[in-house]
Amino acid sequence: MTTVEDSVRTMPARAMPARTSVLERVLRAREISIVLALALLVLVTAIGHPSFVHSQSIRDILLGAAILGVLAVGQTIVVITRNIDLSVGSVLGLSAFAAGTLLMNHPGMPIIVAVLVGIAVGAGCGLVNGLLVRFGDVPALVVTLGTLYAYRGVAYLWAGGSQINADELPDGFLKFGTATVLGVPYLVLIAVAVLVVAGVVLRSYPAGRQLYALGSSPDGARLAGIPVGRRTLAAFLASGTLAGLAGVLFAARFGTVDAAAGNGYELNVVAAVVVGGVAIFGGSGSVWGAALGALLLTTIGSALPVLGVDQFWQQAIVGALILLAIGIDRLIAARVAAALKKRGSHVR
């Protein structure tokens, strides 16, 4: 990462209109290219197999993308601060099991209580991650790699081999997973709401901008008076909370929850975020891109079996996409740096 890129990332929007426009064009290009890839994929699949654009299969894709998207929004918030949260899959599993167990044992309980408990479990897990990163001085990679296994282990200690089945859950909860408003599932509406709130906060509120600043240059952010420790903690708290929410959505959608729920999700989430153009070293990217990345990955997952590609290819494709995305980011970063240098010398 060169200093040129760093300075571009932290630059306030109004101060340097010429420079930001270059950056904005690049970012927009990323989002547009995902949309194009998505459209192409849907088109190719739909031409061969018209049933792919049937409302049922679109709904399935949207439901899957909603859960992955909520996780990706949380992950984006953390990655922007130059950290990473690998524990989200395990947090999802723990929260899904907590909400499910609660509803199974107290069928008469209002659903919102279970939802809140699931979210609280996620927030607790995120808080532990954040505290360890902030006060323990331990890199986020190590902390969340450790808690990835620790939280999963807790889920296994708690659940053992038991499984919560759909018929043990109250109907109201399951309906919450499938019900729609004007044809749009609740789950998707919730995910969109999360996306819009996070997008607006990151784009237009001081707290959001400070996350970008501290991801671009932690030292610079500290000198600028940004409470780096508190913001980092808040980012992990947000990621954990959203993973908790995703766990509840998971339980509502599938109705079947065991200790392995969400196993390996962290790979898809990181892939969605990276494919969506969020730089793994912090300071750039948007939740919109990450959400599009989640949608693209989910669509690929649904399109492969329709296209007759072996389902076993899916994980390999996820891996290849991660490598492709970070490779492209590298290329673009180098180009932008070169373009800025040129522009800078021209102005002077």
- Minimum Å distance from CB 74 to another protein? 17
When asked if residue 338 is in the footprint of another protein (CB under 8 A), the reply is no
The closest of 247, 242, 273, 277 to 259, measured between CA atoms, is 247
Evaluate the CA torsion angle 119, 165, 184, 75 in order and state its sign.
positive
When asked if residue 270 is in the footprint of another protein (CB under 8 A), the reply is yes
- Minimum Å distance from CB 322 to another protein? 3
The closest of 141, 287, 265 to 211, measured between CA atoms, is 287
Q: What is the DSSP letter of 276?
A: T
The pattern of x and - marking residues 289 through 328 that bind another protein according to CB under 8 A reads ---------------------x-xxxxxxxxx-xx--xx-
The only residue of 73, 237, 259, 336 in contact with another protein, by rule CB under 8 A? 259
- Minimum Å distance from CB 282 to another protein? 9
Of 156 and 178, which CB lies nearer to another protein in the complex structure?
Answer: 156
Residues 127-166 that bind another protein (CB under 8 A): 132-133, 136-143, 145-154, 156-157, 160
When asked if residue 219 is in the footprint of another protein (CB under 8 A), the reply is yes
Of 193 and 320, which CB lies nearer to another protein in the complex structure?
Answer: 320
Write the DSSP string, 160-223: TT-EE-GGGS-HHHHHHHH-EETTEEHHHHHHHHHHHHHHHHHHHSHHHHHHHHHHH-HHHHHH
- The token pair at 230 is 């508190």
Residues near 197 by Cβ (< 8 Å), separated by ≥ 6?
none
| Cα–Cα dist 77/211, whole Å | 8
Residue type, 245: L
Of 205 and 313, which CB lies nearer to another protein in the complex structure?
Answer: 313
When asked if residue 274 is in the footprint of another protein (CB under 8 A), the reply is yes
Q: E strands along the chain, which residues?
A: 163-164, 180-181, 184-185, 257-258
Of 89 and 199, which CB lies nearer to another protein in the complex structure?
Answer: 89
- Minimum Å distance from CB 72 to another protein? 15
Of 167 and 310, which CB lies nearer to another protein in the complex structure?
Answer: 310
- The token pair at 267 is 């790979």
- Minimum Å distance from CB 300 to another protein? 12
Residues 87-126 that bind another protein (CB under 8 A): none
The pattern of x and - marking residues 65 through 94 that bind another protein according to CB under 8 A reads -----------------xxx----------
Degrees (nearest 5) of the Cα angle 197, 199, 203?
A: 120
- Minimum Å distance from CB 131 to another protein? 11
User: Which phi-psi region, left, alpha or beta, contains residue 285 (left: φ > 0; alpha: ψ -120 to 50)?
Assistant: left
Site residues for another protein per CB under 8 A = 82-84, 132-133, 136-143, 145-154, 156-157, 160, 218-219, 259, 267, 270-271, 274, 280-281, 310, 312-320, 322-323, 326-327, 330
